[in-house]
């Protein structure tokens, strides 16, 4: 019964969805389920890199801090995603903080054991490389946005990125599936909260964004694309 329960949770992770029962059994043997309350840390930047995590449910914020304590948000992760994306086959430390935003059920796997599974499963290894490749492309796109676009355009591009990674379609809108504050949006692109607030007000007046009754952002993806690309 316990194995069946764990197998269902592993299959909810896209990376593991097409694995055989034999391959899943090897993961079940090394997997542990942990529940985290909001505003608790899964790990902190600089902690020894010991485990890789997969999100069964909930929301986790990944961010870095500099010596002054300034926060730079790397990503907002939700159901089906993994973290960290770096450090495999290397001994080191976690490159960022992982803080729970909404109560999260995580599947934790010791990184050494996960590496052994990867070496025995070329298909799983290739899937992981694809995920890591997508993250590299995303980071390149963010760097390009900072170099080639002004702050207004960077905020529009950020909202478009969130519609692809953290949203569901509702009519003409894309509704963000995570609560994101103006400060958090600012910390994603390294600008001031006041700048984000002014830009969001402009976009709302143009009818390109809104907020629903639960406080989730509603984004007109096609409208924002016209705003930035035409």
Could you tell me which of 176, 175, 198 has the C-alpha nearest to residue 186? 198
Domains of the chain: 2-134 (2.60.120.10), 149-229 (1.10.10.10)
pLDDT band at 142 (very low <50, low <70, confident <90, very high): confident
Say which residue, 226 or 12, is predicted with more confidence. Answer: 226
> pLDDT tens-digit profile of 97-135?
999 999 999 999 999 998 888 888 888 888 888 877 777
Query: What's the Rg (C-alpha) of the chain?
Result: 19
pLDDT of residue 23: 82
Closest-CA residue to 203 (of 219, 187, 184, 181): 219
**Which residues touch 71 (CB under 8 Å, ≥6 apart)?**
63, 64, 65, 187
Question: What mean pLDDT is predicted for residues 11-17?
Answer: 82
Find, among 80, 76, 44, the residue nearest to 162 by Cα: 76
pLDDT digits (tens, 9 = 90+) for 93-106: 998 999 999 999 99
Q: pTM of this prediction?
A: 0.80
Mean pLDDT over 39-43 rounds to 97
Is the confidence at residue 17, as pLDDT, over 90?
Answer: no
Tell me the backbone φ, ψ of residue 219, rounded to 5 degrees. -125, 130
């Amino acid at each position: 019964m316990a194995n069946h329960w764990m197998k269902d949770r592993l299959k909810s992770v896209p990376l593991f969805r097409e694995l055989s029962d034999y391959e899943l059994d090897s993961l079940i043997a090394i997997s542990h389920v942990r529940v985290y309350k909001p505003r608790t840390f899964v790990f902190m930047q600089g902690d020894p890199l010991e485990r890789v995590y997969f999100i069964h449910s909930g929301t986790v914020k990944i961010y870095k801090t500099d010596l002054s304590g300034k926060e730079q948000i790397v990503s907002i992760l939700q159901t089906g995603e993994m973290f960290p994306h770096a450090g495999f086959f290397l001994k080191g430390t976690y490159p960022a903080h992982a803080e729970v935003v909404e109560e999260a059920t995580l599947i934790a796997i010791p990184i050494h054991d996960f590496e052994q599974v990867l070496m025995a499963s070329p298909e799983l290894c290739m899937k992981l490389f694809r995920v890591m490749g997508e993250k590299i492309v995303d980071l390149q796109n963010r760097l390009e946005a900072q170099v080639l676009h002004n702050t207004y355009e960077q905020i529009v591009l950020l909202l478009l990125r969130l519609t692809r990674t953290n949203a569901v379609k509702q009519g003409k809108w894309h509704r963000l599936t995570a609560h994101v504050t103006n400060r958090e949006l600012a910390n994603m692109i390294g600008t001031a909260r006041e700048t984000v607030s002014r830009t969001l007000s402009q976009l709302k007046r143009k009818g390109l964004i809104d907020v629903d009754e639960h406080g989730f952002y509603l984004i007109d993806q096609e409208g924002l694309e016209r705003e930035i690309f035409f």
